[in-house]
Amino acid sequence: MAGTKHFTRMNYHVSRGLREIIAPRQTMPNEKWEAIKKIFEGKCAYCGEGPTRKNRGIVADHVVPATEFGEFVEGNVIPACQTCNDSRGNKNWLEFINSKDFPDLQARIEKIEQYLNTHAYSAPTLETALSHEEQDTYNELVEMWAVINDRAKELYNSKRHGPKT
Ligand SMILES: [Zn+2]
């Protein structure tokens, strides 16, 4: 059993924390986020549904995924229901939406494109954010973390469960 809830969460937080070195802008005033949601009429930009119990509500979907240093800023977040957010994962948004059979697909794509064009955003990259030396250090840290994470999992998986007798 690789990865309990805590391991998964630990890995998520550390990986995300390391990414913040490259992409530090992870906050946006709430009014701004509310304004973005309003552009999409409070509905999921992909499937067009409002928040329901089934789709578990509307969340901020990163257009450039956080794993690729996309930040939580205007021009990089659009409202999506939790179902679409989960289903998209790290896929390119256009590929994702085109793989679905949502109503008024073309109009939705245009709306998203229009929003993205009005708030031009380009995500930082390793190369733009850090010097060569810093990139080496960063990559080293990411690798070190992967080693620590694997070793912690190994120890977890190999340890005796329950009290020793
Ligand atoms: Zn949706």
| pLDDT in the model for residue 38 | 97
- The reported pLDDT for the residue numbered 123 is 92
In this prediction, residues 16-30 reach a mean pLDDT of: 86
* Centroid of ligand 1 to alpha carbon of 158 (angstroms): 41
- Sketch the domain layout of the chain as residue ranges: 1-23+124-160, 26-123
d(CA 24, CA 60): 17
CA of 13 to the centre of ligand 1 (A): 25
Strand partners, 81: 58
**Better-scored residue on pLDDT, 154 or 52:** 52
**Sign of dihedral through CA atoms 104, 39, 69, 55?**
negative
pLDDT at 3: 52
Ligand 1 mean position to 149 CA, how many Å?
33
pLDDT, position 164:
55
The neighbourhood of ligand 1, an ion, using CB within 5 A, equals 44, 46-47, 81, 84
**89, 75 Cβ separation under 8 angstroms:** no
80 C-alpha to ligand 1 centroid (Å): 5
Could you give the CA distance from residue 37 to residue 19 in angstroms, rounded to a whole number?
Answer: 26
**Which tokens sit at 27?**
């906050």
Per-residue pLDDT reduced to its tens digit, 105-143:
999 999 999 999 999 999 999 999 999 999 999 999 999
Q: What is the pLDDT of residues 44-84, one digit of tens each?
A: 999 999 999 999 999 999 999 988 999 999 999 999 999 99
Reported as type and span, the H/E element at residue 59 is: strand 58-62
- Decide which of 3.40.1570, 1.10.30, 1.10.10, 1.20.1630 is the CATH code for 26-123: 1.10.30
Query: According to DSSP H, which parts of 56-131 are helical?
Result: 82-88, 93-98, 105-118, 126-129
Give the DSSP per-residue string, 18-49. HHHHH-------HHHHHHHHHHTTTS-TTT--
CA of 48 to the centre of ligand 1 (A): 6
Q: How far is the CA of 87 from the centre of ligand 1 (A)?
A: 9
